[in-house]
Amino acid sequence: MSDIPTPKLLEPGRRRRRVLAGAGIVAVLYGLGGCSNPPGDLKSLAKGAMDKLVVTASPAPAPTTPFRDAAGKSHTLAEFAGKVAVVNVWANWCAPCKEEIPSLARLQTAYAGKPVAVVAISVGKGEDETAGQAFIGRNPPLTFYTEPTYALTFAFKPVVDGMPTTILYDAHGVERARLTGGADWSSPQARAVVDSLLALK
């Protein structure tokens, strides 16, 4: 029995280093697994706060229908080319719309200095337009945009027939996904969607 070799025990310091090295390898492998989604793979990101996200089957460019800002200056979505555009169609009379606007403001703040534009376009008119402008003013850094004739809602393909509706465009101005109904756009799931679009070349 005395011929059986006794297993060598590592010194405490060496044992600790081996454990830490093993843990580091596991962490790296875990990190690589978490980054396995290719850029623009939005379907796999439709979960949690983004569970209503629908990937656009036939990507189309943004409509050219103009809308205006609070000063009356005309704009089109083409101005946001080169950026990931999160275009939100909303109205002051729409309770779910107003509920999600603050999260859109937080999303824009989170991407300050990055090529991401949150474009909230109100379709209210008259008193709703005035109240909508004031509401956006309480949710910086969002800019107030309005298109009260509803021409823009019909210019989207397919048309926007429910509010709120958020349409996501890549930096080339191509629609990639939509979400109809309210959502938390400041959530980690929403940021994962935006990050995926930012990674597209």
| Two tokens, residue 88 | 């939100």
- Domains of the chain, by residue range, sit at 43-198
Higher-scoring residue by pLDDT: 83, 14: 83
| Model pLDDT, residue 126 | 94
- Gap between the Cα atoms of 41 and 59, Å rounded: 14
| Two tokens, residue 74 | 């005309």
Higher-scoring residue by pLDDT: 35, 181: 181
- The residues, any chain, with a CB within 8 Å of residue 13's CB and separated by 6 or more, are none
Domain 43-198 in CATH 3.20.20.70? The answer is no
pLDDT tens across 62-118, in order?
A: 999 999 999 999 999 999 999 999 999 999 999 999 999 999 999 999 999 999 999
Alpha-helix residue ranges (DSSP H) falling in the chain: 12-34, 95-110, 127-137, 151-155, 188-198
Q: Which secondary-structure segment (H or E) carries 146?
A: strand 145-146
| Model pLDDT, residue 70 | 96
171 has a pLDDT exceeding 60 = yes
Conformational region of residue 167, where left means phi above 0, alpha means psi within -120 to 50, and beta covers everything else: beta
This prediction's pTM: 0.81
| DSSP annotation of 115 | S
